[in-house]
Structure 1
Amino acid sequence: MLQWVTDGGLETDLLFHHGVDLPEFAAFPLVEDSNGRKLLTDYFVQYAAIAAAAGAGLVLETPTWRANADWGAKVGYDAAALDRVNQAAVDLVRSTPTDVPLRVSGSIGPRGDGYVAAGTEADEAAEYHAPQINAFAAAGVDVVHAMTMTGPAEAIGIVRAARAAGLPVGISFTVETDGRLPDGTPLSAAVASVDAAAAPDWFGVNCAHPTHVSPGLDGGDWQQRITTFRPNASTLTHEELDAMEILDEGDRPLLRSSTEALLATLPSVTTLGGCCGTDASHVALLWGVQQA
C-alpha cells in the first residue's frame, strides 16, 4: 500500500524547466548558493504539497546523486568540499517546510554513468562510497538510498558501507527495456545476489518506464522486497535518452496506466515518485491528486 510520496526527476526538471546549467548533471553545487538553495527548496515544497493532498508521508532525496569523488572532481570538488556539501544537502532537505512526516534520504549515484554497467568489486565500491555515506551519517540523515544501480557488486559495496556507518539503506536498480540491468543481470537475480551478500533494508527500481520494468517481473517472492518505484516519463531507451537534446515528458496517460498495472503486481511498494523527465505534475498524476 502506498504510504510515501517521493520527488521526481530533479536534474531534468532543473535543466529543461528552469534553464539551470548542471555541468556533469550535478545538482549538488546548488546547495552552496543562496539562489540555488531557494530553487531546491521550491522544488521540494511542491512534493510536500502533493504528500499533504494525498494524506501521505514525504521522502525527499538530497540533491547529491553526483556528489562522489569521481564526478565531484569534474566540477572542482575535493574530498573536504564533498564532505561539506553532502552534509549541507541533508540540512537543506531537513529544513523543507511541510506538515507531513518527512524522511531525509541521502541520495547516492553510481561511480560511473547511470546507464552503463558498473564494476565487479564490492569491496572497492564500499571503500569508494564510504566518504559520502559517512558525511550523511554525520549530518543525521534518516536513510541512504543508492539509485540507478547498474549491477549487483556496487550495490553490495554500498550496503556494506552503510552498515559500517550504522545507517539504514535501500538499493534501487535501473533496467533496460527488457527488464534486465545494464550489465545484463535479470532483476530477480540482482535482488537475490545482493540479498545473499549484504541485504539492504529494501529495494526499488528507478529511471525506467513501467513498461520496461514489467518484463523483469516473474511473480516470485523476491518481488516483495521492492518497496520503491520512481519511473521515467519516457518509453525511450537509455541510449536514446542520453542522445536527446530536448526533454521527453512522455505519454502521461500511459505513464499512469502502466504504473497502476505495475503496482498491482508489486503490492509491497510503499514509496512512489518519478525519475528522469518527470516533475511534480507527473508525480501528482501518479498519486491521483490535484497539484496546487
Structure 2
Amino acid sequence: MKYRNALPQLNGHKMLTEAGLETILVFHEGIDLPLFAAFTALETEAGAAAIERYMHRLAQIALQTGRGFIMDTPTWRASSKWGAELGLTAADLKEIHREAIAMQLGLRDRFETPASPFVINGVLGPHGDGYAPESHLSAAQAHAYYAEQVDWFAELGADMVSGLTITSASEGTGIALAARDAAIPGVVSFTLETDGRLPSGEPLKDAIRSVDDATGGAAAYFMINCAHPDHFRTVLRDGGDWTRRIGGVRANASRLSHAELDVAEELDDGDPAELGGLYRGLSAHLPNLSVVGGCCGTDHRHLEEICRSLDAA
C-alpha cells in the first residue's frame, strides 16, 4: 500500500502533534464528553466548531515553526468495547472513523506545504481505563481487539495508526501486530506512572524490548504520553540502545499522578514555559526524538513553548 506521506518523522523531519484535546473540550470549551470520547463532540455544531478551531490553531503552529503536523483522529474511545457502552454498533463506529479521516483530509488540503507535511494518524485507545486499568489484555487478545479499528484506518486513508496511553507491553504488542497485518505503520505510545513504570508495573525499557522481541520490531517507533517529564526523565538518563526507539513525547502539563488527575475537578495546566524547558532536557536523552506534542492539560501555549525551547537548543 502506498501512503500519501511516508512518515517524514522517520527521516528526522521535525513534527508537531496534538495537545490535550479531551481536556481542552471539557475544561476550556465546557463540552461534556461521555466516557471522555472526543468524537461525541462532532455530533453538535458547537463541538465540531471547537475541534476545528483547535486543529487550525495547531496547524498554524506547525507552519510557523517549520514543522510537519501529525493530525490525530478523535477516536481514542471509538473501539468496540467503549463504543458498545455508548450504544454504538460496528457500523456506527466505522462511520465515525470515516468522518474523522475526512476532516483530516480537508485540513491537509488547506494547510499542507512542502516544508510542513501533514500526516493523518488513526488513534487507538487502551482497552481499559488508561489511568487505572482493571486488567490487561494478552498479546493475542489485543491483536484481535485492535485489528478492527486498524483495518478501518488502513481502508479509509490514514497514513499511520498510534495506540495512545497504552498501559502494558502485551497491548502494545497486539497493536504492532495488527498494524503489521494491515500494512500500515504503527506506533505504540505508553503511559507511565510517577515512578516511570507502565501501569502494568513494567519498566519502560522492558516494555519496549518486549514489544520489539515479540513482533520483530514491527512498530515504526515508540512514544511516551500522559505523564509529566519529571515522572520519566530519570529513566531515560540511564540510556541504552532502547532509547533510540522512542520517536515522540506527548507529556502532561501537570505533575499530578493519574489517581489525582482522575478525581481533579479543575484543570492543572502547569507552566508552559517550564514544560518547554523540560522537553529541551529530554531531547538530550532521546537521539531520535522528532515528534513532540502534549497531553492532559496542554494547549497551544504549551506547544508553542515546546517548539521555541527545542529550536533554541
Give the TM-score range, shorter chain. over 0.9
CA contact (8 A) 1:150 1:182 kept: yes
Give runs of aligned pairs for residues 141-180 of structure 1, distance below 5 A. Answer: 141-180=158-197
Give 1:123's match in structure 2, choosing from 118, 126, 140. 140
Partner SS state of residue 42, structure 1:
helix
Is structure 2 residue 268 aligned with structure 1 residue 251?
Answer: no
Q: Distance in 2 between matches of 1:72 and 1:135?
A: 15
Q: 1:235 aligns to what?
A: 255
Q: Distance in 2 between matches of 1:139 and 1:120?
A: 26
Partner SS state of residue 107, structure 1:
strand
CA contact (8 A) 2:13 2:68 kept: no
Partner SS state of residue 234, structure 1:
coil
Q: Distance in 2 between matches of 1:147 and 1:232?
A: 13
Shift, 1:15, TM fit: 0.4
Structure 1 stretch displaced more, 126-135 or 184-193: 126-135
CA offsets per residue over residues 199-232 of structure 1, 9 Å max, x none? 2010000001111111322211100000011000
Is structure 2 residue 229 aligned with structure 1 residue 210?
Answer: yes
Is structure 2 residue 50 aligned with structure 1 residue 31?
Answer: no
Shift, 1:94, TM fit: 1.7
Q: 1:101 aligns to what?
A: 117
Cα pair distance change 1:263/1:244, threshold 3 Å: same
Cα pair distance change 1:242/1:2, threshold 3 Å: farther
RMSD: 1.4
Q: Distance in 1 between matches of 2:308 and 2:138?
A: 42
Shift, 1:31, TM fit: 3.3
CA contact (8 A) 1:5 1:57 kept: yes
CA contact (8 A) 1:64 1:86 kept: yes
Gaps of 5+ in 1: none
Q: Distance in 2 between matches of 1:32 and 1:162?
A: 29
Q: 2:97 aligns to what?
A: 86
What's the % identity of the aligned pairs?
44
Q: 2:152 aligns to what?
A: 135
Is structure 2 residue 30 aligned with structure 1 residue 19?
Answer: yes
Is structure 2 residue 76 aligned with structure 1 residue 65?
Answer: yes
Shift, 1:254, TM fit: 2.6
CA offsets per residue over residues 103-139 of structure 1, 9 Å max, x none? 0000000010112345141111111111111111111
CA contact (8 A) 1:116 1:183 kept: no
Partner SS state of residue 288, structure 1:
helix
Report the number of matched residues.
Answer: 289
Amino acid at match of 2:199: P
Q: Distance in 2 between matches of 1:216 and 1:116?
A: 22
TM-score normalised to structure 1 length: 0.95
Partner SS state of residue 145, structure 2:
helix
Q: Distance in 1 between matches of 2:167 and 2:234?
A: 17
Partner SS state of residue 95, structure 1:
helix
CA contact (8 A) 1:83 1:131 kept: no
Shift, 1:32, TM fit: 4.4
TM-score normalised to structure 2 length: 0.89
Q: Distance in 2 between matches of 1:185 and 1:271?
A: 24
CA contact (8 A) 2:276 2:308 kept: no
